[in-house]
């Protein structure tokens, strides 16, 4: 048997496959398509089918009917999805590796040697070992994780291991308590970037949420996530318990090597399906992965409708005065941008609200609060610690990071006493000013809502330079009119 000559002798006797009972549901729960020729990847009707299945189910198996060791089919398919259906292009895996990642085990000795002699970004990844890889979403450590990833099986595990399993999240996330969903949706988690996936030396972790709209799902990889508050920790424990529940097991589809043989491809919507892998037994097992359509994680928030958001572009000039420099953040009702005020030659923050009739009262309330603050006496010592310098479009002076972010950058996870004294003193002055002079009660005082001011504008110049070199992901541009309240 020439085909088996390169396989370890221990594998030769494992030829009778056991198919888990749940794989009998495979055809009902996972859509399949055949690719009879390479040109299928460019056929408008075929590519349209792929797009529709990914939109509706988020999981698709493709059976290649021709040899394709170079992954030309996958390359052309993703290009066609980008051109015809608005998918983002593939994204790199690290500072030294490109679009495609070779998923195959390294020997223990080779992995150890590589870890000792190579820079961190060239360290072996979890997928490059033979160890099992528990439930996770792909690239959960990135601000903008890929919406999709694909795995092409070049050589299936011939020894009964290396089974890829997927878990449907739409049935599971509603099982979480309201309290858990609340805290999982907050940016109260530190997510470490594995050394082999570091793209920038100064970004070894991010602070973010784990949960988006329940219809869109989750980002999760237990070994790199650290809750930053007790409430976030409790929510995280509930999430982990849920993933071990009987309901989770019933939502799992094991894709054994018989189901995903050599020459097959599986495409997965990353936020709607978790995936895992058991121990690899065949050292020749070889898959090839590609990821595409990166999108900011927190923009898939409850009620997110892209057409309601104004699609700023870097360099765009608004109201013949404010030139957009980069994106600072976003939420359910607005996006926030750093811009240059070309009239006064300074940096400002633009808060641009979504277009929504139901938001009218909320916008009026916020604008009226700022008007009340602006119309009171400025002699109170707390006045300068409250944002009040606004223009027609909620234009604010830019601020630095929050107290929460500063807290978690400190290795001891505490605010130094001198900093704490200053923060509390200014916070109490600001609250006294709001209460006594403005007759306003702030109902959401949290560490991530208390921001530091900036003494040196050079940080904005650095931010602007970084945005030009590596801009934040943007949505598709559409024609809208930008309305400034009060004009």
Q: Which fold has domain 27-110+119-294?
A: Double-stranded beta-helix (3.60.130)
pLDDT at residue 370, rounded to an integer: 58
Mean pLDDT of the chain: 78
What's the CATH class of domain 306-469? mainly alpha
Percentage above 90 pLDDT, the chain: 33
Q: Give the lowest-confidence range in 294-298, 326-330, 433-437, 476-480.
A: 476-480
pLDDT at residue 123, rounded to an integer: 64
Residue 328 confidence class, pLDDT cut points 50, 70, 90? confident
326 and 337 Cβ atoms separated by less than 8 Å: yes
pLDDT over threshold 50, residue 388: no
pLDDT at residue 15, rounded to an integer: 33
Residue 413 confidence class, pLDDT cut points 50, 70, 90? low
pLDDT at residue 461, rounded to an integer: 80
Q: Give the lowest-confidence range in 71-75, 261-265, 283-287, 316-320.
A: 316-320
Q: Give the lowest-confidence range in 207-211, 242-246, 327-331.
A: 327-331
The more confident residue out of 142 and 2 is 142
Residue 358 confidence class, pLDDT cut points 50, 70, 90? very low
444-472: pLDDT as tens digits = 788 878 888 887 777 778 777 766 665 55
Q: Give the lowest-confidence range in 310-314, 333-337, 371-375, 405-409.
A: 371-375
The more confident residue out of 20 and 71 is 71
14 and 54 Cβ atoms separated by less than 8 Å: no
pLDDT over threshold 70, residue 118: no
pLDDT at residue 113, rounded to an integer: 45
Q: Give the lowest-confidence range in 68-82, 87-101, 264-278, 469-483.
A: 469-483
**Residues with Cβ < 8 Å from 193, sequence gap 6 or more?**
141, 142, 199, 203, 204, 205, 206, 224
In this prediction, residues 341-352 reach a mean pLDDT of 89
Q: Which of left, alpha, beta for 63 (phi over 0: left; psi -120 to 50: alpha)?
A: beta
Whole-model pTM above 0.85? no
pLDDT at residue 222, rounded to an integer: 96
pLDDT at residue 332, rounded to an integer: 60
Residue 408 confidence class, pLDDT cut points 50, 70, 90? low
Q: Which two tokens stand for residue 387?
A: 């944002």
Chain centroid to CA 111: how far? 28
**Locus of tokens 């999981």:** 59
pLDDT at residue 36, rounded to an integer: 95
**Residue 479 exposed, middle or buried by CB count within 10 Å (0-12, 13-18, 19+):** exposed
The full set of domain ranges for the chain reads 27-110+119-294, 306-469
293 and 434 Cβ atoms separated by less than 8 Å: no
């Amino acid at each position: 048997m020439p085909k088996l000559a390169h396989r370890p002798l221990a594998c030769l006797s494992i030829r009778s496959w056991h198919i888990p009972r749940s794989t009998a549901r495979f055809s009902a729960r996972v859509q399949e398509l055949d690719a009879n020729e390479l040109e299928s990847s460019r056929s408008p009707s075929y590519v349209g089918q792929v797009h529709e299945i990914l939109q509706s189910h988020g999981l698709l198996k493709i059976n290649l009917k021709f040899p394709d060791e170079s992954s030309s089919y996958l390359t052309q398919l993703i290009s066609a999805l980008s051109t015809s259906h608005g998918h983002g292009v593939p994204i790199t895996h690290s500072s030294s590796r490109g679009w495609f990642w070779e998923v195959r085990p390294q020997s223990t000795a080779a992995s150890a040697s590589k870890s000792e002699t190579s820079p961190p970004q060239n360290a072996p990844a979890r997928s490059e070992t033979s160890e099992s890889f528990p439930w996770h979403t792909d690239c959960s450590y990135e601000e903008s994780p890929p919406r999709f990833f694909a795995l092409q099986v070049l050589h299936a595990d011939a020894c009964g291991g290396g089974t890829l399993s997927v878990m449907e999240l739409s049935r599971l996330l509603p099982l979480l308590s309201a309290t858990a969903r609340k805290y999982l949706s907050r940016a109260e988690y530190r997510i470490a970037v594995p050394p082999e996936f570091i793209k920038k030396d100064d970004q070894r972790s991010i602070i973010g949420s784990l949960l988006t709209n329940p219809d869109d799902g989750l980002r999760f990889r237990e070994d790199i996530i650290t809750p930053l508050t007790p409430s976030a920790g409790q929510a995280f424990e509930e999430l982990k318990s849920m993933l071990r529940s009987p309901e989770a097991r019933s939502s799992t589809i094991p894709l054994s090597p018989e189901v995903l043989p050599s020459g097959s491809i599986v495409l997965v919507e990353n936020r709607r399906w978790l995936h895992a892998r058991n121990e690899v037994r065949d050292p020749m097992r070889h898959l090839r992965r590609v990821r595409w359509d990166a999108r900011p994680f927190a923009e898939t928030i409850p009620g997110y409708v892209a057409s309601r958001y104004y699609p700023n572009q870097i360099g765009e000039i608004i109201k013949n005065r404010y030139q957009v420099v980069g994106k600072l953040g976003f939420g359910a009702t607005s996006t926030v941008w750093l811009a240059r005020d070309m009239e006064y030659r300074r940096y400002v923050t633009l808060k641009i609200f979504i277009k929504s009739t139901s938001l009218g009262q909320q916008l009026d309330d916020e604008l009226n609060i700022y008007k009340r603050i602006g119309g009171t006496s400025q002699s109170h010592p707390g006045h300068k610690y409250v944002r009040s310098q606004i223009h027609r479009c909620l234009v604010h002076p830019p601020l630095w990071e929050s107290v929460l972010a500063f807290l978690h950058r400190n290795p001891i996870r505490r605010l130094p006493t001198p900093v704490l004294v200053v923060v509390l003193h200014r916070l109490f002055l600001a609250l006294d000013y709001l209460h006594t002079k403005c007759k306003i009660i702030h109902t959401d005082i949290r560490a991530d809502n208390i921001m530091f001011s900036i003494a040196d504008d050079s940080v904005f110049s650095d931010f602007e330079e970084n945005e030009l070199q590596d801009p934040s992901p943007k949505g598709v541009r559409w024609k809208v009119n930008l309305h400034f309240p009060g004009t």
